Amino acid sequence: MRLDWEMLDVRARSGNHTGVARLLLQAGEEERLAFGKAVEAGIKGAGPDVWWRSHTNPAPGYALAVIGTARSAAKAASLLRHRSLRAQWREIPMDRFLALAQARRLDWLGDLGTRLSRPTPTGSDWDNGEWAFTAAIMRAGGVEPPVTEGVTRFWLLRLLQPYGGHGRERPPLNVRLRDDPYLDLLLPAVFDIDTLGTAVTHSSWGEPEGRLTAAHHFPAAVASLVAEGRLQRKVVLAATIDRLVRGDTPNALRPFLQLHDELDPTADEIAAHALGYARMLAEGPGPVAALSQRVLRVLDDTGRLDVETLLDTSSAVLLRKEKTMVKVQISWLERVAGREPGRAGEVFETIAVAFGHPALDVQERALVLIGRQLPHLGPDVVARLADASRVLAGDLPARAAELFGGIVPVTGPAGVPSLPPPVESAPMPPPVANAPELAEEVVALLHDQSGVRWERVLAGLVALHAAGERDALATALTPVLDRYPARFTDVRWNSGSPLVCLGNAMRIASGAVPQDEIQQHLHNAVEVARHEGRRGGLGSKLSPRPDGVLALRAAELAVRLGDPVTPRLVATPTRVNGSLDPATLLERLSRAEAEQWQPWPFDLEQALLRLPRGATPVEVTAGAGALVSPAGRRFAQWLASGGLPDPVSERFVQYADQNPPGGYTWDAPVSRRLVATLRPSRHDGLLLTRQLLTHEPVKRPKYMPRQFKDIPEVLAMVLPHHREVAAAWAVGEIASTADQGQRGSARLLPLLADGTGPVGPALAAALAYGFCAKHESDRAAAVDAFLTLAAGTESFAGAVGAVLGDLCSDSVVKLGRALTALTDAHRSGASAAVWELLAAALPPLLPTKVRGVPDLLELATQVAVTLGARTEIPGLADIAARPGSSRLTKEARRLRTTLVS
């Protein structure tokens, strides 16, 4: 029976792997080699219906055909790496695969395995099934795997799996490690390659209940192999310390910290690596530095730690952010000074480095300690200590001046830079010049839907179509439409999206489809919006949210491009924040009137909504009054009425449901969330604003909302001068960055700050949530927005502080996250706004036991000293009057003294 692709394909699609193998084994080698081209064509020509819609996926059968016909390792690797075939490597029957290779007596099987693993994908692109497939090929070919990040990672992941095929329980991890043929080859790479520790951080996941013993825990399993002599203790300890010295993410270092504890090095072993431990103490992440501090103290207690090494290391340690570690270091140095009286001056000058620590209680601890020893120190040392005290902050400079006599005058705090005046948003980039540039922008839009790029694409498409560039548009845009059909075609998951509407407009503009064949739902959506001012619901697939305005404009473009006269767009902003200069709009409408065309309705409405607040130049008002076209008269009326009135935004609290055990339901895992309602203050005559200015949040917090995460510019540019509107729509999503740990949604905040309009309850809540976001990038975005607002907006920070105090008072969000952000804002020059925020946030927090309140009081003291503030903080005097020496009481007294002195 001769080899035939159709016959083989039928067997592969039906999952008949035995039949596929039999066909190939019955043929001669020359016939198999000749059949290789048919196999290649069949695999590359298979469409999605073959790969994903067949009753049985054909990939395993196709893989057998590859190994049964390929002429070389390079050809076989190329076909096996086909994206759809590769996804099914774990399903390939290895017994038949290797039997075919053996029957053909392939001498390149090892080369094939090496090619499949090099260059090796890393991260989630490779899974353990693919490693098992590749490793089996390399073993059969008699070669060792290359020591790369991907190979090592997935060798390790495979070892860590507690279950084998069909859910069978595997031997303990130490046994799996001991018996693995690649242990000596690949285990050293686990220590050498960055980030591989993350693969073992959660190595206990999936272990059977009750089985998590030392044998099943990676650090303990490695230590057990060291104890039994399978691994060399000296080598493993050195590799562990070297890994910790080089540093990595906390998750990646955690298993090596645990392994270090399991190895429990002796004083002799610690002494051999003393310099490495010293470097960890100075530069390592918190847990690594804490370990180093612990072991070096053990070494010091035995008298084997060089004082020079300790002092050099301490200078860096005393400025670390971990206050507990700094205080331990200060106490350690104090004991060393008592033990080495001849070097006490050097020791206390080292302790004085802590004067530069950002925490006042650390500065105070160092100052008090030095003050006790001052009578025993020489005048030269005292002078140097006095000079070092000039960096003290808060109320400590005055105490230092009293301590050092007339040596240190009482000086004000270090100067904090003032905020520069707000800068006008940058102008829009030049318009798209030709069809190839438009195609490039469309492709870029698929990867980053920025508002600026959307505006350039819409304006460029209309302008080029109006200029008669249909052939050029067809040449440039057709390949884009063909390459990304799923993004521009209406399917269930993207129905009504702006990209689908744009796809229709691109087809019309390039002549790919006639105007009368445009999808009916776009006509329906535009008509519903024109007659009812509605997006979404019956007859419209467009989103009722603000991003639906963009989709509506793109749909309007698609529907109206075939009109006898194609106008230019008038809503294209003149600034990247979405603002449109009134003089520019006057020029565009004057041109339309002169050329006798009218702007499209929703394009004109969007243009009006982008006009700045405040008084319009007299010449623009006069010019608008001279227009006689319908669009011109509407523009003049809009200016005369003062534009869009501010809508009414009000605070709204969402409460989560509780399940019978008392916890929160899986889809609303936060107790409460502050959002905002939105309603128009009066009718403005526009269709777009009927939904834009009406927002009623649901009663319960949503789980991980992400409607605007990927399109923050689009949202901000709809109403650039009414930022509270965008904030009201997005505040729930921004809240999730703090109360659910979502990433990226706070990117909207700097864009809103770049606009104008009052700061209402929605934007105030959004900023408070942004300060408490889990991820640093979101907190940085909140600080950027706060600084921009502080430079150009008056009396907004108190509202933010009131929300922050409310949210943190019952730990809905974490106060500690906000401290760093507020400190950054203070140091950047926004001290007055930070003080306004703190003065509003402290009263609801003072009566609570929330962690971080003492730190907030400390920050308030620093800001108050900077500003010379004398504001009364309700409740502060009561806390300061409490007996005792708790940190809360001490910091309250410090702030109270600063405010009344």
pLDDT (tens digit per residue) in 64-90? 999 999 999 999 999 998 877 887 888
* 628 and 665 together in one domain: no
Whole-angstrom Cα distance, residue 594 to residue 461? 22
Instruction: Calculate the alpha carbon distances from 682 to 412, 610, 636, 638, 693 in Å.
Output: 52, 18, 19, 14, 10
Q: Which of 832, 836, 829, 766 is nearest to 797 (CA)?
A: 836
* 21 and 100 together in one domain: yes
- Contact (Cβ atoms closer than 8 angstroms) between residue 400 and residue 408: yes
On average, the pLDDT of the chain sits at: 89
- Contact (Cβ atoms closer than 8 angstroms) between residue 841 and residue 819: no
Say which amino acid occupies 114: T
Whole-angstrom Cα distance, residue 51 to residue 66? 16
User: What is the β-pairing status of strands 672-679 and 648-655?
Assistant: antiparallel
Whole-angstrom Cα distance, residue 23 to residue 100? 11
The predicted pLDDT at position 209 comes to 42
119 upstream amide cis, omega within 30 of 0:
yes
> In this predicted structure, which of 468-472, 518-522, 718-722, 850-854 has the lowest mean pLDDT?
518-522
Confidence grade of residue 208 (pLDDT, cut at 50, 70, 90): very low
In a domain, 426, yes or no: no
pLDDT surpasses 90 at 216: no
* pLDDT tens figures, 615-652: 899 999 999 999 999 999 999 999 999 999 999 999 99
Tell me whether residue 186 is exposed, middle or buried, using C-beta atoms within 10 angstroms of its C-beta: 0 to 12, 13 to 18, 19 or more.
buried
The predicted pLDDT at position 410 comes to 41
Q: Which of 624, 565, 563, 564 is nearest to 590 (CA)?
A: 624
Whole-angstrom Cα distance, residue 499 to residue 501? 5
Whole-angstrom Cα distance, residue 347 to residue 381? 10
In a domain, 302, yes or no: no
In a domain, 408, yes or no: no
pLDDT surpasses 90 at 602: yes
Whole-angstrom Cα distance, residue 352 to residue 318? 9
> In this predicted structure, which of 688-697, 722-731, 812-821, 864-873 has the lowest mean pLDDT?
864-873
Whole-angstrom Cα distance, residue 97 to residue 102? 9
* pLDDT tens figures, 134-179: 999 999 999 999 998 888 888 888 888 877 665 677 888 899 999 9
* Of the residues 347, 379, 403, the one at which a domain ends: 403
Whole-angstrom Cα distance, residue 274 to residue 296? 7
Instruction: Enter the tokens of residue 715.
Output: 């949202």
Helices 618-625 and 630-640 cross at an angle (nearest 10°) of 140
The predicted pLDDT at position 205 comes to 44
Q: Which of 845, 895, 846 is nearest to 867 (CA)?
A: 895
* More confidently predicted of 789 and 868: 789
In a domain, 799, yes or no: no
Q: Could you tell me how many residues make up the chain? A: 901
Whole-angstrom Cα distance, residue 810 to residue 20? 65
The predicted pLDDT at position 398 comes to 85
In a domain, 86, yes or no: yes
Q: What percent of the chain has pLDDT over 90?
A: 70
* 395 and 461 together in one domain: no
Please state the φ and ψ torsions of residue 95, each to the nearest 5 degrees: -65, -45
Whole-angstrom Cα distance, residue 201 to residue 203? 6
pLDDT surpasses 60 at 835: yes
Q: Which of 718, 715, 832 is nearest to 766 (CA)?
A: 715
pLDDT surpasses 70 at 198: yes
Whole-angstrom Cα distance, residue 679 to residue 645? 11
* Of the residues 379, 403, 427, the one at which a domain ends: 403
In a domain, 176, yes or no: yes
The predicted pLDDT at position 168 comes to 74
Whole-angstrom Cα distance, residue 95 to residue 40? 22
* pLDDT tens figures, 116-139: 887 644 444 455 567 888 999 999
The predicted pLDDT at position 730 comes to 96
Instruction: Enter the tokens of residue 847.
Output: 């009566």
The predicted pLDDT at position 159 comes to 87
* pLDDT tens figures, 453-480: 999 999 999 999 999 899 999 999 999 9
* 624 and 708 together in one domain: no
The predicted pLDDT at position 202 comes to 55
Location of structure tokens 């939904």: 691
- The residue range of the domain holding 443 is 435-640
- Contact (Cβ atoms closer than 8 angstroms) between residue 673 and residue 651: no
* pLDDT tens figures, 13-25: 888 999 999 999 9
Confidence grade of residue 195 (pLDDT, cut at 50, 70, 90): confident
Q: What is the mean pLDDT of residues 687-713?
A: 91
Confidence grade of residue 597 (pLDDT, cut at 50, 70, 90): very high
* pLDDT tens figures, 313-329: 999 999 999 999 999 99
Angle at 520 (CA atoms; ends 519, 526), nearest 5 degrees: 105
Q: H-helix or E-strand containing 675? A: strand 672-679
Confidence grade of residue 706 (pLDDT, cut at 50, 70, 90): confident
Instruction: Calculate the alpha carbon distances from 413 to 355, 393, 828, 881 in Å.
Output: 13, 6, 15, 26
In a domain, 847, yes or no: yes
**Which value, to the nearest 10 degrees, does the dihedral of the CA atoms of residues 122, 128, 134, 140 take?**
150
* 572 and 665 together in one domain: no
- Contact (Cβ atoms closer than 8 angstroms) between residue 574 and residue 580: yes
SS3 800: helix
* 775 and 822 together in one domain: no
Number of domains in the chain: 6
* 584 and 439 together in one domain: yes
* 130 and 193 together in one domain: no
Determine the longest span between alpha carbons in the chain, in angstroms.
Answer: 107
The predicted pLDDT at position 658 comes to 66
The predicted pLDDT at position 659 comes to 59
* More confidently predicted of 352 and 195: 352
* 767 and 848 together in one domain: no
Whole-angstrom Cα distance, residue 797 to residue 805? 12
The predicted pLDDT at position 567 comes to 84
Q: What is the mean pLDDT of residues 801-818?
A: 95
* Of the residues 403, 425, 445, the one at which a domain ends: 403
Q: How far apart are the first and last CA of the chain?
A: 102
SS3 280: helix
* More confidently predicted of 808 and 412: 808
- Contact (Cβ atoms closer than 8 angstroms) between residue 437 and residue 460: yes
Location of structure tokens 């080859």: 185
Alpha helices in 740-830 (DSSP H): 748-753, 761-771, 776-792, 797-809, 815-827
Write the DSSP string, 711-737: -HHHHHHHSTT-HHHHHHHHHHHHHHH
Q: H-helix or E-strand containing 579? A: none
pLDDT surpasses 90 at 892: yes
Q: Which of 727, 251, 710 is nearest to 445 (CA)?
A: 710
* 623 and 651 together in one domain: no
The predicted pLDDT at position 421 comes to 86
Name 695's bridge partners.
678
* 394 and 363 together in one domain: yes
Q: Which of 806, 807, 805, 810 is nearest to 738 (CA)?
A: 807
* pLDDT tens figures, 240-277: 999 999 999 888 999 999 999 999 999 999 999 999 99
In a domain, 87, yes or no: yes
Name 598's bridge partners.
none
* 440 and 332 together in one domain: no
* More confidently predicted of 377 and 88: 377
The predicted pLDDT at position 55 comes to 61
Whole-angstrom Cα distance, residue 218 to residue 204? 8
pLDDT surpasses 50 at 215: no
Instruction: Enter the tokens of residue 585.
Output: 């709009």
The predicted pLDDT at position 206 comes to 43
Tell me whether residue 120 is exposed, middle or buried, using C-beta atoms within 10 angstroms of its C-beta: 0 to 12, 13 to 18, 19 or more.
buried
